[in-house]
Amino acid sequence: MKISKTHQRFADRYRISTPRALSHPDEFLGPNWKDVLNFWLYLDTLSDEQLNMARRRFWNLDDADRVSSWELAWDASREVTSNDISNRAYMSTPASASDAGATATRELIGAHKILEQGKSLIFVPLFLDL
């Protein structure tokens, strides 16, 4: 399995369990772990210009929509993982991806919970067609 920079940072935050976080991400990231890892690999391929575009899209969202969707992603990720793991995944996302990438990570962790509520993913699509 190819390891993204974000996955490595995430695993490093579990100093005692680093090998486990790398070899068994499903134990940490829940059932959507493959989507999360693929997203993190994708982030590694993006240029600064592309990351800036995703950042602009994030901040161009309606404020109320952005906040409510951020809270939805946060709550859904915590239903799937612990508060601690959700925070570590968020903080492991590169600063260059800004809140857009970090929140998209949380959204992917809890994607099935969001979709079960009949709601749509808001942050992941910000990274399409860059």
pLDDT in tens, 18-43: 788 889 999 999 999 999 999 999 99
pLDDT in tens, 78-104: 999 999 999 999 999 988 888 999 999
Residues 6+ apart with CB under 8 A from 19: 11
Q: Kindly report the average pLDDT of the chain as a whole number.
A: 93
Closest among 55, 111, 37, 101 to 79, alpha carbons compared: 111
If phi > 0 it is left, if psi is from -120 to 50 it is alpha, else beta; for residue 129 that is left
pTM: 0.93
Q: Which two tokens stand for residue 44?
A: 């590694």
Q: Which two tokens stand for residue 45?
A: 């391929």
Q: What backbone phi and psi angles, to 5 degrees, belong to 78?
A: -75, -20
**Helices 83-92 and 63-80, interaxial angle, to 10°?**
120
